[in-house]
Amino acid sequence: MKNQIRGCVKINGTGKNLYSFINALHQRKIAIFRQYVKGGTLSAEIYHSSLADVQEIAEDMGISLTCYEYGTLSEQIRRRKGRFGLILGLILILGASLYFSSIIVAIEIEGNETVSDGVILSALSELGIEEGTNFGQINYVWSENQLRLMIDKIAWAGMHRTGNRLVVEVTEIVKKPDMLVERIPCNVVAAHEAEIISVLVRDGQLMHIVGDYVFPGDMLINGMTTDHNGNITLHHAMGEIIGRYSDTVEFSGAFTKERMISTGKTDKRRRLKLFSLEIPLYFGKNRYEYSDSKEYDNPLYLFSKKLPISIETTEYTELSRTESTLSAEELKAELIEKIYLYEKNFLSDCEIISRDIKETATDEELTLTVTYKLQGDICEQREIAIK
Amino acid sequence: MFDKLTDKINAAFFEEAGIHIAGNRELILENCRRIEECSDVLMSLACGKLLIHIWGNDLRAFDYKTGGLVIRGKISQIELEERSPR
């Protein structure tokens, strides 16, 4: 390590007065290592700083000296001492490190659920705390109190510094839950024309049993019961009546219609983001009449830490309104995709026992009629009108 | 009479040859005045009234500007020879 810093030079000396030379080095107190004489040649190592003195003594004593410097850190630095770019870069890195260690690089908000990050950030911004603010300028106690006063939904706020990040911890006010009016007297009626498969009554009186066939609007669970004395009790009828029923849905599409098709032309717009500042790296506006855009961010990382410097790219793909004619197979595939989406969105809470797809085609359009056999809850609540 | 006085002064000021040996790998020598021989098998060093011969293999001398010398290598024999003062 010492040699890496001071630089180490290997010397080989030959001549008549070799031992006088060795003793002269010893008397002049020059640090010399690994010295030995073999075949009339002195081999040794010295520090780079002693080289000039050793060369002078060797010259005085008529010693022929050859030198070789090992590749050490100091040798590398000495070799590059004229490279001002490197020095400048080093100074810039040091400067940037010092600068970024004294300012807020990122603000992290913890503990918020109903109050959005944006609200807290804008409140902090009003207090003069944002990305790029010097940590020394922040009055933590005052800012915490102000933040609490500015946002009503915050009960407590705390701030602390972690490296070059400002962590804002908040505790929100727990709102008193609203009284839910869930126990309104009601009946349960059938929503579909179905055959009852199973029944489960939680409140009220069951009106049909398993195996009965019911029509839409038929009462399944009665919310009004009468006891032996003629007293009427109102219930919020609840239960789970599973029925088997059928449903028919039509999906149709035209063979020829206008569709938005990509022309293949793309345009990339980049912006340099420095903290909250956005610098566009392009000229003009998006010249496409119809386009689809995709946005992605490439942040800069240093030792796996995300820096507040990034390049944001928006990629526009030009679309054109084109009238296209699809073949029967292509249109059918499009309609099947619609059927899949319908089932995923509307029939996810019931079981599909079977589906029958009938295809009807005209010159202009194709229609798929899907008849489902479904099994699911057929209950529908209906309020009891009371004076 | 004069020699005895010189010896006492040398002893008082720690000017005598000091030798410290660590195993057979390292020998530290204090107050080395001159190097007589410095090969990889024999190092002859003049220290005060003594001429010290160190025999061994792959011997190397290290001078740390302390007026002494550090000999490293495989030391096999050390000879101490009194020499006439110059």
State the nearest Cα–Cα gap between B1 and chain A, in angstroms: 30
Question: What is the total count of domains within chain B?
Answer: 1
**Are B60 and A38 in contact (CB < 8 Å)?**
no
**Are B60 and A22 in contact (CB < 8 Å)?**
no
Q: Which residue has the tokens 């009220």?
A: A204
Residue-level pLDDT at A122: 93
Closest residue on chain A to B72 (Cα) = A34
Residue-level pLDDT at A92: 93
Query: Of A19, A29, A36, which is closest to B61 when you measure between CB atoms?
Result: A36
Query: Of A26, A29, A33, which is closest to B35 when you measure between CB atoms?
Result: A26
Residues of A in contact with B38 (CB under 8 A): 19, 22, 35-37, 42
Residue-level pLDDT at A387: 60
Residue-level pLDDT at A180: 74
Residues of A in contact with B39 (CB under 8 A): 36-38
Answer whether A4's CB lies under 8 Å from A78's CB.
Answer: no
Amino acid at A279: I
**What's the DSSP call for residue A353?**
E
Residue-level pLDDT at A364: 86
Residues of A in contact with B59 (CB under 8 A): 36
The CATH code of the domain that includes B18 is 2.60.40.2000
Residue-level pLDDT at B1: 66
Q: Which of A25, A26, A28, A33 to mutate to test the interface with B (most CBs of B within 10 A)?
A: A26
Size of the A and B interface in Cβ pairs below 8 Å = 48
State the nearest Cα–Cα gap between A44 and chain B, in angstroms: 9
Q: Is B34 an interface residue toward A (CB < 8 Å)?
A: yes
ipTM of the complex model:
0.83
Q: Is A375 an interface residue toward B (CB < 8 Å)?
A: no
Residue-level pLDDT at A201: 92
d(CA A267, CA A7): 55
Q: Is A64 an interface residue toward B (CB < 8 Å)?
A: no
**pLDDT tens sequence for chain A (387 residues):** 777 788 899 999 999 888 999 999 888 889 999 999 998 899 999 999 899 999 999 999 899 999 998 888 888 888 887 888 888 998 999 998 888 888 998 899 999 888 899 999 999 999 999 888 999 999 999 999 999 999 988 999 999 998 888 999 999 988 788 877 777 889 999 999 999 999 999 999 999 999 999 999 999 999 888 888 888 888 889 999 999 999 999 999 888 888 888 888 888 899 998 887 888 888 888 788 888 899 999 998 888 888 888 999 999 999 988 888 888 888 899 899 999 999 999 998 889 999 999 999 888 889 999 999 999 999 999 888 776
* Domain A2-78 classification at class level: alpha beta
Note the helical H segments in chain A.
2-6, 18-27, 51-61, 73-79, 84-102, 117-126, 140-150, 328-346
DSSP β-ladder status, A106-110 and A165-172? parallel
> C-alpha angle with apex A42: A40 to A43, nearest 5 degrees?
135
Residue-level pLDDT at A379: 92
d(CA A104, CA A119): 18
Q: B22 lies in which domain range?
A: 2-82
Residues of B in contact with A31 (CB under 8 A): 63-65
H/E stretch holding A238 reads strand A238-254
Please report the residues numbered 36 through 75 in chain B whose beta carbons come closer than 8 angstroms to any beta carbon of chain A.
Answer: 36-40, 59-65, 67, 69
Query: Of B32, B36, B67, which is closest to A19 when you measure between CB atoms?
Result: B36
Q: Give the start-to-end residue ranges of the domains of chain A.
A: 2-78, 106-172, 182-255+326-387, 257-323
Residue-level pLDDT at B85: 54
First-to-last CA distance in chain A? 97
Residue-level pLDDT at B82: 85
H/E stretch holding A380 reads strand A379-383
CATH, domain range A106-172: 3.10.20.310
Q: Which of A25, A35, A47 to mutate to test the interface with B (most CBs of B within 10 A)?
A: A35
* Regions of chain B where pLDDT drops below 70: 1, 84-86
State the nearest Cα–Cα gap between B26 and chain A, in angstroms: 13
- Residues in contact with A231: Cβ distance below 8 Å, sequence separation at least 6, in sequence order: none
